[in-house]
Structure 1
């Protein structure tokens, strides 16, 4: 019974199983309800969107109506202001008339004992007061109607006719006169500070301030107006910087320097050549240039990208050209601009060359569509074989990266910052030589090269492969790199003009290029010497570590029975044969590189002589007095040395 109950629990009876038809009907009903509910929600959402669109149209039309009402209200306010001004004049006239009538009434009712006033004096006083009051009233009307030019002319004319009377009436009138003058100054200042003021209106307002004796204030208003206008233009332009990251400095520099030129010209026309005004314009221009450089840094691409290098180069080129044009207006801003741009450009150069070092050694695979000159491709591909394609690809990639950097540099960048570019190219070439040294067999004496151990996935085992490495390195050092650099450096020499500070003299350029080529030669010599050293050592020492050039060969014989052989000893004959074999291979691999072949063979024999001169074990044999050197052995040694020198 227990077993039966357990089976019932594990396997329920057939009556508890739900039929498939019921399951289908339940799921179908739930699905239909869900779809209906979703359709209702979509319809509600559609109605809400339509209502929202309708509300937006309604609000937009309401906004247009409100805008029209605002414009009408502004016109009404202007008319109301004029009306209030005219009403004020009427009230003032009424007050003047009432005061006059009261004065006449008081005179009629005055005590008869009082001495009568002299009618002539009273008439003269009234005649004096009436023109002054009328003048002040006229100025008030002109100021109320914003007729600043007419008010200025009237004030100037009155000031010329103004007497130096120090009486109470004159002091009161002078105070009122100066008050109107200050009101006119405020109106002119308001006009100059308007955001949308035209150039003609601004010029008239500034001229008016100058006539009022406010020249410094007028120039500050001019500089403020032009600076505000420049700021607005820049704010409109900046969002487009990301669209053209390489060329945006050109447009930005045009905005800044054109405004500086315009402001300088306007200041000269309005304020003349007064040094006070000129110095203030120069100071303002320097502030704007500092702001310009800061904007370039903030909106430029990341400094390690090639786009940043192009942007910085264009910035230097265009800015210096604009500075050169501004010199005709008396502004010398080139030095300041170079001081401000130098840290930024040097940072961009340094980060780009760091990126170049990583790009050269990270991967040796080269895109077949690299935009390299056909001359460069053919020069490097001449050393290509089926076994060293990776090596050729590395050379082409190195050339492409250098070419890509140099093509971003503009002539004026080369003129002023070429001294910073050339050493970085030589450093990159030196790192490339270190990597090629790792591709040659044999240990390296430079411990710092251990980090490049896995740089090039290629090991040159045969003589032809090793010579191909030397051929590629020599071609890059002697032909291709100088060709690239001279192509970029030459335009500035062709366009050089006397007295142009933006062009580096020929002598300086020649010295820089000579020093640079000397550095390239030094880096290549490291690779060449490493090859020669390991090649000579592989001949001198056998795999067991024994030397083939052993001084014991000169100690044999007793000097009487032996005959002197006029031929070099066998090890030196073998050395000569090995060098001849290498020369044959070099003639095939380094075809057309006779200069390199001669240098290489000469350096190999020099390496043999250097090894002999420094090998103490070789010469220590002759110092052993127990086995003295016989005359025939000495003659053979001398012959071998002469033979080695002749090979060299």
Structure 2
């Protein structure tokens, strides 16, 4: 159409072309198109010949007209393509397939021609098959009349194996290769082929075996190849003699599948527990499938395959741990998110332990990567407990009350016959905070037994309790550590006896009941019911008994500080002078008046103090009367033992200027008997206290006897 338009311009252009245009207009269409069909057609010369007689304006009109024709032609081409698009695509594909088939035929004919030439040379038949190398294969074979049956078999065999490989008929190709191997052995023994043809056969078998192996390897590497096909293809590749390659490709196929699944999971799932569980299951199930495939295909092979499988599985576990550490553990550990970290570890380790049934123990790999981060989160939480308790201790009023979340009414005290584990205990604010944070912490760290961090958690708990006991000791009035460097008080001082007894109540309830209950949570999922763990000490594991001893030592340390503080209040005045001194007894002899035989005022005060403490402890330590008894026992022992060991007191009594007389001896005897009697009635007279009183009386008697007097008078 465009060519016709160029030869018959319309409008003003017809006059510019002149007479030649009028002549051409009278010609037929075929005659007009002949000029364009010529192989020597020159577009530039043609345009120049047509435009010699045209002026500039006419040339511009012609150019514009040609541009319009170009646009119209392009639009018509586009419409044509759209109208016949499917036919155009189909034709293009058929042309492409045809080109591939022609190329394969050409290669096949070339190979066959080369083979025939090789056979003719080996049989010295070159003169009989001389001619064009690209002649038809059948004509060549017709001319070679002296080829033996073995040589004909060889030609047919090589043609068949090429066809089988081209059509990817793996089983038949394997059978053909096996047949070729057997035939090669027979040919070698019978010498039915020349050495050159035998070498050509062996080379052809090796080459086609390699081609088949490459085809199988390519099949394994395809993303669309599934499990059963991968196993069968790997087995075929192993049977071809390329076992190491087959095993490596088998593992790589599982690895690629895991990578694709992981990428999809990361793009569709968040970074919470669901991601961890799904990701962990994906990784360890992939490792399990790979292990199963490896053992099923290479079970009877040498240990090298097992070694490669273990190395591969360790690598996958390490990559999994690194990615999980990057996505979850690092940020959780930095923020002290122990619950998130421990749940993450618990899920992963559970899947890992399920895999150990196949003989793959990958838990050490995960432990190496997970332990530092969970340990960091654990330490962060323990430090947070200390900071919170320290902050509350600075404003604690040291009054005992039920926790705010307790269901028990504050006005109803627990029955003295009830089990202490069945009700919410009374503690001060800081102790309630310490207990609640510890209980929450050990609910979070249950899975830490898998990471072998349960010992670290218990040790951290003991250190935290030691820190809290130090706060309680600092709260005693006689403590010297009551202010920090800035002058702000670290803890609020417990001024009254009731507040100081509350300090002891905090420690004893935490140590005896609450903290051991928290530690039980570490292994409650694997070591039985809580009721079994709260039994008697003889049924506790050795580590729990050791923990109880250490907790009790901390309680004893606080109790000894309490007793020492109160003993010092009796023995010394605020100015530091000793109230319990030898002058109490040395100045009694020589007075005219007979003394009124009452206990000395300081021991009367000791009796009043112990009675007051006994009343407070009876209300506080309900169900723990033994601790109250031991507290009173130690308090009385502290005062009496100080008197027994005070060298200044005994130097005055034994070698002083004023000797101890009969009246002083009787008063000292009365005081000691008074202490023994009220201690016995209060049921806190210990053997140490009784022995210390006997020693004091005996030593005083010896001091009087040294002066020449008869103490028995």
Instruction: Give the TM-score normalised by the residue count of structure 2.
Output: 0.68
Q: Which moved more, 1:506-515 or 1:286-295?
A: 506-515
Is 1:88 the counterpart of 2:107 in the alignment?
A: yes
Q: How has the CA–CA distance of structure 1 residues 79 and 261 changed in structure 2, closer, same or farther, with 3 Å as cutoff?
A: farther
Measured in 1, the distance between the counterparts of 2:376 and 2:94 equals 57
Pairing of 1:329-368 with structure 2 (within 5 A):
329-363=358-392
Shift of 1:88: 2.5
**Separation of aligned partners in 1, 2:431 and 2:626:** 20
| Counterpart contact for 2:382–2:460, Cα < 8 Å | yes
Per-residue deviation, 1:396: 1.8
Find the counterpart in structure 2 of residue 532 from structure 1.
563
Provide the rounded CA distance (Å) in 2 between the counterparts of 1:71 and 1:525.
95
Partners of 1:304 and 1:355 within 8 A in 2: no
Deviations 1:262-313 (A, max 9, x none): 1111111111143332232122222222222222322224354676423442
Q: Relative to structure 1, is the Cα distance of residues 472 and 188 closer, same or farther in structure 2, using a 3 angstrom cutoff?
A: same
Offset of residue 359 of structure 1: 3.1
- CA deviation after TM superposition for structure 1 residue 219, in Å: 0.7
Structure 2 unaligned spans of 5+: 1-84, 131-143, 416-425, 530-536, 680-684, 686-713
- Counterpart position of 1:139: 161
Superposed displacement of residue 73, structure 1: 8.1
Distance 2:100 2:676 in 1: 110
Distance across 2 between alignment mates of 1:492 and 1:293: 25
Task: Establish whether residue 167 from structure 1 lines up as the match of residue 189 from structure 2.
Answer: no
Higher Cα radius of gyration:
2
Distance (whole Å) between structure 1 residues aligned to residue 89 and residue 551 of structure 2:
75
Distance (whole Å) between structure 2 residues aligned to residue 313 and residue 201 of structure 1: 40
**Structure 1 CA distance, aligned partners of 2:288 and 2:237?**
23
Q: TM-score with structure 1 length normalisation? A: 0.74
Whole-Å separation in 1 of the counterparts to 2:651 and 2:661: 15
Please state if 1:156 is matched with 2:183: no
Question: 2 CA distance for matches of 1:517 and 1:86?
Answer: 89
Is 1:252 the equivalent of 2:286? no
Q: Size of the alignment, in residue pairs?
A: 553
Q: Is the 8 A contact 1:556 1:633 kept in 2?
A: yes
For the residues of structure 1 that align with 2:576 and 2:365, how far apart are their CA atoms?
66
In structure 2, C-alpha distance between the alignment counterparts of 1:369 and 1:158, rounded to whole Å: 92
Q: 1:161-560 counterparts in 2 under 5 A?
A: 161-163=183-185, 164=188, 165=191, 167-238=195-266, 243-244=271-272, 246=273, 248-274=275-301, 275-301=303-329, 302-304=331-333, 308-363=337-392, 392-411=428-447, 413=449, 416-444=452-480, 454=488, 458-494=492-528, 510-558=541-589
Go from structure 1 to structure 2 and tell me whether the alpha carbon gap of 1:240 and 1:592 turns closer, same or farther (over 3 Å shift). farther
Q: Does 1:588 align with 2:606?
A: no
Deviation of the 1:562 alpha carbon? 7.1
**1:158-209 CA-partner distances (Å, limit 9, x unpaired):** 2233223572210112112211111111111112122332223322321221
Alpha-carbon contact 1:380-1:472 (below 8 Å) kept: no
8 Å Cα contact 1:419-1:512 kept in structure 2: no
Larger RCO: 1 or 2 (CA < 8 Å, sep 6+): 1
Task: State the Cα RMSD in Å.
Answer: 4.3
In structure 2, what is the Cα distance between the partners aligned to 1:303 and 1:108? 83
Contact 1:226 1:259 in 2 (8 A): yes
Deviating more after overlay: 513-522 vs 581-590: 581-590
Greater fraction helix: 1
CA distance in structure 1 between the partners assigned to 2:268 and 2:482 by the alignment: 46
Compared with structure 1, are the counterparts of its residues 625 and 540 closer, same or farther at alpha carbon in structure 2 (3 Å cutoff)? closer
The more displaced of 416-425 and 621-630 is: 621-630
* Mean Cα deviation higher: 596-605 or 370-379: 370-379
Which residue does the alignment assign to 2:13? none
CA distance in 2, matches of 1:572, 1:338: 63
Q: Which runs of 5+ in 1 are unaligned?
A: 1-65, 110-121, 383-389, 496-505
List per-residue Cα deviations over 1:87-143 (Å, max 9, x = no partner): 43245556778999999894599xxxxxxxxxxxx7563432232122222222232
SS at match of 2:493: coil
**Aligned partners of 2:176 and 2:584: how far apart in 1?**
122
Offset of residue 449 of structure 1: 8.7
Residues 508/483 of structure 1: CA separation in 2 closer, same or farther (3 Å cut)? closer
